Amino acid sequence: MSRLRRVSVGVALAGVVAAGAGCVSKGLIEYDVDGPPQQLAVLGTAAPADARARFRQIFCALYDREPKSPDDDFPCSGVLHRLGGEAAPAPAPLPPRDTRLRVLIVTSALGECVADIATPFDQGIERLAPLGYRITTVVVGGMSSSVYNAEMIADAVKELRLEPDDRLVLIGYSKGTPDILHFLVGYPELAARVAGVVSVAGAVNGSPVVDRFADLYYRSLAKPSALSCKGRDLGMVRTLPRANLMPWLAANPLPPHVRTFSLASFTDRAHVARLLRVSYDLLAQVDPRNDGQLTFSDQIVPGSTLLGYANADHWAVALALEERRSFWMGHPQRQRAFPRALLFEALLRFVGESLATPD
């Protein structure tokens, strides 16, 4: 895919939304980081457990020991939002690296289309692989349904040769999360091998943007001149509406042996990538606490352990797009790149510690 084609991935989607959006009016809800966390969930699904304090403690211990430039005054507290009700953590040491974790990262919607530019947490993989972590990226169908991609995940799990002490952890970024959840439900024999699932900016409930523009997305992406992803069943836009994902979550309880963890993301408009601002403004009519693709209350897996809320847009939390395509994917307000490699290490340290502790 040429550079022009790669950049057009984001331009095309932004154009699709902008074409149908018209004028965007200001929403009734103000941007607020003082209120408590919120989850939009179907009645009967389990509430999340709150582990924000411990995750912050782990992340900040890693972050604060990293070398800083003399003029760098960006504190750890600016990386993770401190929403209301977050308790002070009890003193505890930084958990050790647990190389018994066998990690599979599942890419997002359209992730296949830009895999040659960036894949989720590729910088974090470069940081941790030399230290003994075994991490594989599963590039699922960029425009495919969760049912289609669940089969791809199943194939990847089948190929693994796990040692007796290994703990298999699946990390889903964006639509990678519902793809993983469909795998857990649809392939119970293989799901038995999974110890944990981490959702990062997960499209757990879907998105109101897709709710409104699903048909427009579908018609635009179905054109021969549209994106050159493989596996073009176009099921992506049929999977992501709330009206499909939320009833599916209510009807399909997750395997009780799998520990699930959720890290959400949202930020203010000034720190949203240029190409995400149209969708950010649309979502702000629902809730300004969004990351340009998802509201903060739509990103929590039912019954999961809530790790926190990254102060980042939907791309910056996991993808190095702003460093590699700074004009379209970046934003002038951020003075330096989001520390996603450290965030990735904090995720694995937390998960390793949690899986070593009985429920």
Report the pLDDT value the prediction gives residue 112, as an integer from 0 to 100. 82
| Close Cβ partners of 138 (under 8 Å, ≥ 6 residues apart) | 104, 105, 106, 107, 152, 153, 156
**Backbone φ/ψ region at 67: left (φ over 0), alpha (ψ -120 to 50), beta:** beta
Report the pLDDT value the prediction gives residue 128, as an integer from 0 to 100. 97
| Least confidently predicted of 16-20, 162-166, 182-186, 324-328 | 16-20
Give the amino acid at 79.
V
Report the pLDDT value the prediction gives residue 221, as an integer from 0 to 100. 62
| Close Cβ partners of 262 (under 8 Å, ≥ 6 residues apart) | 48, 198, 199, 202, 204, 299, 300, 301, 304, 305, 306, 307
Neighbours of 14 (CB within 10 A): 19
Backbone angles phi, psi at 264, to 5 degrees: -95, 175
Neighbours of 151 (CB within 10 A): 17
Token pair of 119, please? 């894949």
Report the pLDDT value the prediction gives residue 4, as an integer from 0 to 100. 41
| Least confidently predicted of 70-74, 88-92, 109-113, 257-261 | 70-74
Beta bridge partners of 80: 310
Q: State CA 173 to chain mean position distance.
A: 3
pLDDT digits (tens, 9 = 90+) for 124-158: 999 999 999 999 999 998 888 999 999 999 999 99
Q: Answer yes or no: is pLDDT of 169 > 50.
A: yes
Report the C-alpha gap between 105 and 135 in whole angstroms: 7
CATH numeric code, 3-22+44-68+98-355: 3.40.50.1820
Helix (H, G, I), strand (E, B) or coil at 198: strand
Beta bridge partners of 290: 267, 295
pLDDT digits (tens, 9 = 90+) for 245-278: 999 999 999 999 999 999 999 999 999 988 899 9
Mean pLDDT across the chain: 86
Q: Answer yes or no: is pLDDT of 8 > 50.
A: no
- Quick one: what percent of the chain has pLDDT higher than 70? 82
Q: In angstroms, how far apart are the furthest CA atoms of the chain?
A: 58
Pairing state of beta strands 134-138 and 101-106? Answer: parallel
Q: Looking at per-residue confidence, does 216 or 321 come out higher?
A: 321
Residue 358: HSE in the Cβ half-sphere, 13 Å Cα cutoff: 0
Report the pLDDT value the prediction gives residue 322, as an integer from 0 to 100. 75
* pLDDT average, residue stretch 67-85: 81
* pLDDT average, residue stretch 65-77: 74
- Quick one: what percent of the chain has pLDDT higher than 90? 64
The domain spans of the chain are 3-22+44-68+98-355
Q: Answer yes or no: is pLDDT of 3 > 80.
A: no
| Least confidently predicted of 85-89, 146-150, 323-327, 351-355 | 323-327
Q: Answer yes or no: is pLDDT of 192 > 60.
A: yes
Q: Looking at per-residue confidence, does 35 or 222 come out higher?
A: 35
Residue 27: pLDDT band by 50, 70, 90 thresholds? confident
